[in-house]
Structure 1
Amino acid sequence: MGRSLIISLIFRGMKKLLFAILFLGLGLRVSAQELNFTVIINSDRARIQNTNIFDQMKTSFEQFLNGRSWTSDEFRPEERIKGNLLITINEVPQVGIYSATVQIQTVRPIYGTDYESLVFNFADRNWNFEFIESQPLEFNRFTFLNNISSLLAFYANIALGLDYDTFENKGGDPFFAIANDIVNNAQQSGRAGWVQSTSDRRNRYWLINDIYTSSVFSSIREAYYLYHRQGLDILQIEPDQAYKNILEAIKLVANANKTQPNGIFTISFMDAKSDEISNVLKNAPLEIRTEAVELLLQVDPNNARKYNELLKS
């Protein structure tokens, strides 16, 4: 069962169903645009007088992400993948050139609830780009055109891939393949963040390597499906099975971490899920909580206090 059908079923259990029925009943065109990203630009550190340029950036970047079709699937407006792109401008070394960090977050609806689960939470610490007013942003999967469209298209496909993975086991393969092509093409530019670096593993090269290229972390992609589709989505109707599946998902992440500790994909998963796991498992049976905490302390020791609280419930 593919992502489009599954998410349609999910929305039947949500309050937005009435709008969906009305939308279809009126015979309106179904939107093919898949993303609903909000771009936030923090320019406090940028000492330039023309701050209007950042408003133009926001509009341009949002149009690039939200205004095009990234897949051949049909998405109704309420089904579009929500995300935030927080860009912090660290420096403007010269006119038109910017140095920034980027925080990317995406969420996914959970069946039968109004809750949205944080799926992806990643900090990209090294992005340098050139932006010119009224600059058109073009994208070609097979060619590096500029450092803006490449980064935005890269994270668009990462967001799509992980979202599809939560609805179907390994369902995100087509999007990760595109993201991998983007990295391969961008490496020729010599720009930071696209190359294999031993000093900085929190970059685009290592992210797609861990998600798509390396077999070591493939179990984490299985965990995305098990945790969301077979865990959170059925928690309201089959809590015992849901808790077991969530525990199995944590085991898959722990196994990957045991094989290769501190992989960027593992860190990204826990950055998105640590708070949620702590809240979801509060009502789980003691044996589930006990085993989960033992694994979580191995994978994510920085949040040990949070996980140990689960044993006090």
Structure 2
Amino acid sequence: MKCVLLVLRYVMAVAMLSAASLSAAAQELNCKVEIDYSQVAGTNTAVFSTLQDALSEYINTRKWTNAQFSTNEKIECKLFLTVKTYEDPHITGELQIQSSRPVYNSNYTTTLINFKDTKIEFDYSQGEPLIFSENTMESNLTAIINYYVYLILAIDFDSFSPRGGDQYWEMLKNVVQMAQSAGESGWKAFEDTKNRAAVLNAFTEPSTQKLRDMVYAYHRTGLDEMSVSPDKGRQRITQSLDILSDVSRVAPMSVGISMFKDAKLDELVNVYSKAPQDERDRVYELLYSLYPTEGKRLDQIKKGKNK
């Protein structure tokens, strides 16, 4: 399975960047880290520049998997931390996580994750080293970062191969279990329908883990096929939306459903802009049942934006 995944990545990279040179064992992520500390202006803000550099190095220089990535196969992602309060060394805030992957035989990249974690809380002193450990919890900060790195990897691998992210979901479980044992904020089961434990459960609980099948169907059999056959690729995307509807029936409050909306709704407007009317009507009805407050955006699907 891993070989198939890597071949797919290689083919896509060559198609998009045929002139690029290959590197045998590059790190997996090209992650841009930004910190907004404007809400705590007037304090010693030099710590945030140090933290930004430390996080960038921690994420981008570490080898997180056993897979071989070439330089132009790196996963593009972004972590944007908004600091809400700072009382040295305690920091609270929100973290926006975004990741994307290329679409086969095109210059288009599609969003995989666009998620905001509103429960960020950790201690950090200027110059403090960030220590990685797979089996112990060194700090809540590194636990949060490890969690989101593994989430990015899990969903990315799932998008190329059926349940290809298995090992990274297991790593996520390990991080969550360690953090829950430590009693840190943002990790408790059933405390919050959108916290880190809830995100993990959405993709791994038996009743909702079909979301992972949707990730594969939507991207690999849908978007990736549209360069060859737009109609066939779009039909596969429509079929993948039925999985989302099935999950909604058993878990209507699943964070996985809102994560899909935040990552994909604008893209779906473009995907269906030139679809036949009956297909657009069907997709509109399905999505409206899931996201009734998004009527304005969904109307663009029904009308056909480029008609």
**1:76 Cα shift?**
1.1
Is 1:31 the counterpart of 2:25? The answer is yes
Instruction: Give runs of aligned pairs for residues 174-193 of structure 1, distance below 5 A.
Output: 174-193=167-186
Cα deviation per residue 1:63-88 (whole Å; 9 max; x = unaligned)? 11111011111111111111110100
Output the CA distance in 2 between the equivalents of 1:164 and 1:270.
20
Is 1:195 the counterpart of 2:197? The answer is no
- Counterpart position of 1:66: 60
Output the CA distance in 2 between the equivalents of 1:42 and 1:289.
40
Is 1:237 the counterpart of 2:228? The answer is yes
| One-letter code aligned to 1:178 | M
Output the CA distance in 1 between the equivalents of 2:143 and 2:63.
16
- Counterpart position of 1:100: 93
**1:189 Cα shift?**
1.6
- Counterpart position of 2:18: 17
Question: Which of 6, 9, 21 is the aligned partner of 2:8?
Answer: 6
- Counterpart position of 2:116: 123
Cα deviation per residue 1:72-113 (whole Å; 9 max; x = unaligned)? 111111111111101000001x21111111010001101111
- Counterpart position of 2:203: 211
- Counterpart position of 1:162: 155
Cα deviation per residue 1:132-151 (whole Å; 9 max; x = unaligned)? 22211112222211011100
Q: Which runs of 5+ in 2 are unaligned?
A: none
- Counterpart position of 2:245: 254
Is 1:290 the counterpart of 2:284? The answer is no
**1:31 Cα shift?**
3.1
Question: Which of 67, 84, 92 is the aligned partner of 1:90?
Answer: 84
Output the CA distance in 2 between the equivalents of 1:179 and 1:89.
25
Alpha-carbon RMSD across the aligned residues, in angstroms, is: 1.3
With the length of structure 1 as denominator, give the TM-score of the two structures: 0.93
Question: Which of 131, 136, 142 is the aligned partner of 1:143?
Answer: 136
| One-letter code aligned to 2:10 | S
Identity of aligned residues (%): 28
Output the CA distance in 2 between the equivalents of 1:226 and 1:83.
22
| One-letter code aligned to 1:172 | G
Kept after mapping to 1: 8 A contact 2:88/2:125:
no
With the length of structure 2 as denominator, give the TM-score of the two structures: 0.95
Question: Which of 255, 263, 272 is the aligned partner of 2:263?
Answer: 272
Q: Which runs of 5+ in 1 are unaligned?
A: none
Q: How many residues were matched structurally?
A: 302
- Runs (4+) of structure 1 exceeding 4 A deviation are none
